[in-house]
Amino acid sequence: MTSSARWRGRTQVVDDRIDDLLIRLGSGGVESDETVDEYFIKWLETRRPSLAATTHGSYVAQYRYYISPHLGRVPLNRVTSASVAAWLNTLLTSGGRRGGSLSAATVRYSRILLHKAFEDAVATGALLVNPVSRVQAPQRDVNGLRRRYPASSWSVEELRTFLHQIDGHQFAPLFTLLSTTGMRRSEALALSWSDVDFKRREVSISKSLAVRDGQPVRGSPKRARSRRIALGEHGADALEDQLDRQQSSRARASSSWSNELDLVFTSPDGSFIPPSRATDRFRVTVARLPLSRIRLHDLRHTHAILLLQAGMPVIDVSQRLGHATPAVTLELYAQALQNPGHALAETFDQLLENRLWASNDLADARRRDWG
């Protein structure tokens, strides 16, 4: 497209916006004086049918924790670019649920949500312009790091300690499966027994679990990509242990047992386990152990980082985790894998001194590579 064509396209957009504003001004329907809270409650409900349950749930949580406390009582037509900039800065420095700083990724997500909602407000005439459009999202955390979010993890020694200490714990099979497969919490809680192939030691990931109005809702996994994950001995044993536990629970519950979705992980009466309950139990359990504090989701990070540190190919780890591309995997874990490069330097010295391979071996290798 030529520069003149692009200019004509932009001019047409501006002209259309001016015409739209003139129509609204002439009809008297200029902006809404409802508060951001009032608008968002309706907007979230309007968007519900077009969103996956997990996505809608994340929208609700983002708004409840990071937007409403700061902008909820402000009239929609009083939100300015200056107030949006101040809100983003507050989130970045002290917007956490416990008053701490938020990562730049979380702040960007909140901005995206507000921008999306305000764009719809502009389209319906509730706003004349979108004030969020004129404010850039932060690219760095308050500590100056540029990353999507911190990839906290345990060392292999810490993970061994954790798995040993939770032996017999009610949630031990779930925590073990998460740490040995890298699957997401919502994916594990959505597993049905039909998804488990004990003979081939595989699980099929095709669903995710969310809670809507207090009831379990199963939708597609993130990015709507299904995959199969191979199980190691620890993962397979965890599922067999869970099967035994569930059968015992079912016998005790008798007629009160209810597991219509045939879920792998259930409460003692067969009902689903809310994701928040699993997270809370993990936090309480870790707090009692001599381990560094990490989140339940960080078991996924731990799994990925330990595999990458062991030399597993990025593309294989990416597929196991269900990432869109290996580039996403690298972006998430590059910082955790960084090192001063001493091992690389020492290896190169050994190459120069022929301590790794004899010169004839290197020549043979070159001939094989080059044909």
pLDDT, one tens digit per residue, over 286-304 is: 999 999 999 999 999 999 9
Name which of 92-101, 116-125, 190-199 the model is least confident about.
92-101
Instruction: Provide the whole-model pTM.
Output: 0.67
CB 268 within 8 A of CB 202: no
pLDDT, one tens digit per residue, over 208-241 is: 888 877 888 887 776 657 899 999 999 999 999 9
Which domains does the chain possess?
12-134 (1.10.150.130), 156-337 (1.10.443.10)
pLDDT, one tens digit per residue, over 238-278 is: 999 999 999 999 999 999 999 999 999 999 999 999 999 99
Look at residue 13 and tell me whether its pLDDT is greater than 90.
Answer: no
According to the model, what pLDDT value does residue 54 have?
A: 75
Q: Which of 142, 141, 176 is nearest to 162 (CA)?
A: 176
